[in-house]
Amino acid sequence: MDSADPRQRLLELADARRVSLSQLSKLIGRNGTYLQQFVRKGSPRKLEETDRRTLARFLGVDEATLGAPEDNSFDAASSGDWSDVPRLALGASAGPGAVGMEEEPVGALRFATRWLRGQGFDPAQLSAIAVTGDSMEPTLRDGDEILVHRTAAPLRDGIHVVRVDDALLVKRLETGRPGVVTLISDNPSYQRIELPRGDVAVIGRVVWKGGRL
């Protein structure tokens, strides 16, 4: 497929967001194979307008990228100026550890693209998840929403979402000792955990939080 083909662009955008075509199909209320059929077999021949609009908003692109006529595309105020960050159907435990569920979007949080880029964030590398538990209080409270930024930059100290075995955790990381990562809870009731670097899979850095007062 040509790189300008809407089907190829959809594949590229899904890959950049690290979401599957099945997940995107469910996002638009279709069965899990709908977009696979569209991409692989050309059926349907083009996306319906409402499906295309939802996908364009979620992926942060102009509707024309996914095959809309230019005069039917979103204007800048409703697409290019805004980025919809996917909310994933899992929680990062600030407690003993939550088993990570399938990373499937269940909605989105909308941010001004200019603001995100001004903070040094790539909108395509952001995800929103909920905090569960109290081990990161008072910094993060149970039910807070956090933005997680995936980056290839070298690991540094700070609050990150990590996977240890099958558990997804949000912890403050300390990386000063070679080959060792220390997981620190801001709540003093919880002990520090030291693990070999290879036992800790870093999902991304926590760069923003929101929650009820």
Question: Is there a single domain that holds both residue 102 and residue 194?
Answer: yes
pLDDT digits (tens, 9 = 90+) for 142-158: 889 999 998 766 677 88
DSSP class per residue in 64-82: GGGT--GGGSPPGGGTTTE
Question: Is there a single domain that holds both residue 128 and residue 189?
Answer: yes
Please tell me the total count of domains within the chain.
2
Question: Is there a single domain that holds both residue 37 and residue 130?
Answer: no
Whether residue 2 has pLDDT greater than 60: no
Question: Is there a single domain that holds both residue 148 and residue 203?
Answer: yes
Q: Which domain holds residue 159?
A: 82-210
Q: Sign of the C-alpha dihedral, residues 48, 50, 51, 57?
A: positive
C-alpha pair distances (Å), 40 with each of 17, 20, 33, 89, 199? 20, 14, 10, 27, 37
Question: Is there a single domain that holds both residue 145 and residue 157?
Answer: yes
On whether residue 21 sits in a domain, the answer given is yes
Share of the chain above pLDDT 90, in %: 21
The whole-angstrom separation of Cα 181 and Cα 194 is: 6
On whether residue 176 sits in a domain, the answer given is yes
Question: Is there a single domain that holds both residue 87 and residue 56?
Answer: no
pLDDT digits (tens, 9 = 90+) for 18-28: 888 988 888 88
Question: Which amino acid belongs to residue 81?
Answer: D
**pTM above threshold 0.75:** no
Among the listed residues 106, 186, 193, the one whose alpha carbon sits nearest the alpha carbon of residue 145: 106
Whether residue 37 has pLDDT greater than 80: yes
Question: Is there a single domain that holds both residue 195 and residue 102?
Answer: yes
On whether residue 59 sits in a domain, the answer given is yes
pLDDT value at residue 93: 52
Question: Is there a single domain that holds both residue 12 and residue 93?
Answer: no
- Final residue belonging to a domain, choices 45, 78, 111: 78
Query: Looking at per-residue confidence, does 50 or 85 come out higher?
Result: 85
Question: Is there a single domain that holds both residue 24 and residue 99?
Answer: no
- Final residue belonging to a domain, choices 32, 50, 78: 78
On whether residue 1 sits in a domain, the answer given is no
- Final residue belonging to a domain, choices 23, 45, 78: 78
What's the CATH code of the domain at 31?
A: 1.10.260.40
